[in-house]
């Protein structure tokens, strides 16, 4: 099996150390609740580095939400929804629908971005998954 690049590991929600183990159980839009694994199933890396570590992911998720809100608003305007007072509730409805639809993705990728790019000292170690 070929080693994943960092970008592929982020897209597939893989462990930042070995890039083989899954960070989450199940898929983003499954009927059961998404859960973050405590440890990597391959290299045994503890994902929550310290108590409250994933609270920082809220700030990443906030930035993702702002970008999504702006994108949905601009896309609605470009696709023909006039920017007038009478259409205010259409914009609000579209934005709320988009934010609710993308919330499982935000939850998942805010944690992945935090682990892969915003955690100092946590990087890829070639062959780290071979010890198990």
Distance CA 23, CA 40 (A): 7
Beta bridge partners of residue 24, listed in sequence order: 36
Q: Give the pTM.
A: 0.84
Tokens of 24: 């989450």
Chain segment 13-69, per-residue pLDDT in tens: 999 999 999 999 888 887 778 889 999 999 999 999 888 889 999 999 999 999 999
**To which residue do tokens 């859960």 refer?**
35
Rg (CA), the chain: 18
pLDDT (0 to 100) of residue 127:
73
Q: How far apart are the first and last CA of the chain?
A: 16
């Amino acid at each position: 099996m070929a080693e994943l690049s960092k970008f592929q590991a982020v897209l597939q929600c893989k462990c930042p150390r070995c890039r083989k183990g899954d960070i989450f159980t199940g898929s983003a839009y499954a009927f059961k609740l998404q859960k973050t694994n405590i440890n990597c199933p391959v290299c045994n890396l503890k994902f929550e580095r310290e108590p409250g570590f994933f609270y920082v992911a809220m700030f990443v998720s906030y930035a993702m939400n702002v970008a999504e809100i702006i994108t949905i608003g601009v896309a609605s305007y470009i696709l023909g929804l006039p920017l007038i007072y009478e259409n205010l509730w259409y914009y609000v409805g579209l934005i709320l629908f988009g934010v609710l639809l993308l919330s499982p993705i935000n939850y998942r990728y805010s944690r992945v971005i935090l682990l892969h790019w915003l955690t100092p000292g946590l990087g890829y170690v070639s062959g780290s998954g071979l010890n198990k």
